[in-house]
Structure 1
């Protein structure tokens, strides 16, 4: 159990850390309902760490997707540099970066994850149409490594000071990468119309902006289903609360895919699929019921 700090400097540092953590929580609450709903099933430490990871990823994404100014590349470079400095020092004047660095230093997240992530974000500034090689590299950096960051959080939430960082076995890491890939590809599919119209991007190889055939849609859905199967296969290796949260989030994305699969391609391009709140709550309740019967 944590004890309140008595040293004035320690109290000030703790206040800054808590304020930074609240900034991450605010970013997640403002941008994601599905991811946010799943994170509420985690313990306090893991939830704060997931919020910190999400917030950094979201800010980078906003630079390349929403701001898109002529200096977007410079802003992304500065965010990456801030993050690298904070990994070394444990401190940043950017509250979101400060919270992320605290999480990364405690859970073992480092440049193996961050370098490909920022490379993928930078690709959004220049690449408009992807081939298979660039698509796979983009998904790895923008999503698979984020899955690995989340796995690091789940495995190290209860790690005591001085204990070695837990990395996870090959099956867990493959499941984490597949989870990130499935979520990213689903979001690409949901945003197919907006990405091609507003941003002029085409992520899926072989699909021209603004077009989608039934056979192309079926192939994408099959690819995502294979990722989800790999991710589900790794669930038993996660700590219980992480298992519940991931199961719930998987269920929400599977529901989205079900809606997309039931829609003709023209509708997929025209309307962003959403899951209503009652359905979301039912999916989460089902995950809690399933995983409560599993091992601790």
Structure 2
């Protein structure tokens, strides 16, 4: 066998091995998806159907397409989802990076009957959602991101970074693993207590929140205000009056007023210079806001803008 023939044989065998492994993993994934859907259906009383699922060995990514969520008893379709993408999730550990994305979430016409009083634009919109978690096990640092969009209306994003999150991750993993077993009431209470303590030990490093107009946000607000018999001027005056008596920093008040007036964008970011757990930080912030709001700048740094 010459070298070129050998090279071709290696490539063919490698490809065959990948295809075989990918098929095996796909079958395992389908079994796990079926199991998780059954658990969801039992807990929610809803029925979930999907057309296809696939997995990528290299990225540990799973894609589920053409999902339909319906009421179990009446069979009424509630939501459709074009794609659900899952990346990096592992059953036995918290992955260094994991992500879940919903693409093309829509409310069905049958379900629209249940939304009387809600904006027709919001009811008829197509939604996108992506959430991710980055986690460094050795340092205990973690970052959570949550991004949503109502196409043609608005986009939002939320980002929070923490230190000392190892206990919280371990408690979260224990809670997820416990879902597969029948737990006694005592065990459930222990897990809940463990989770609460772990949450309190988290140390907030930074947090940010953004809203951006994606086209028709101003028109949507005008329509909602009209239904309540209010004008945009009345609404702006009401917000300004409520903020006047709020203990929040003036920069944040100005940003909110600017956003309410322009309906284009609102951006708020917070950093915590001194590491301390969330419970201690919350207590100090509550005391500062009640007694001396000017000292808030010693605890957190706020940057805000709105237009």
Q: TM-score, normalised by structure 2?
A: 0.28
Larger Rg, first or second structure (1 or 2):
2
Structure in which a larger fraction of residues adopt strand: 2
Q: Does 1 or 2 have the higher relative contact order (CA < 8 Å, sep 6+)?
A: 1
Q: TM-score, normalised by structure 1?
A: 0.29
Structure in which a larger fraction of residues adopt helix: 1
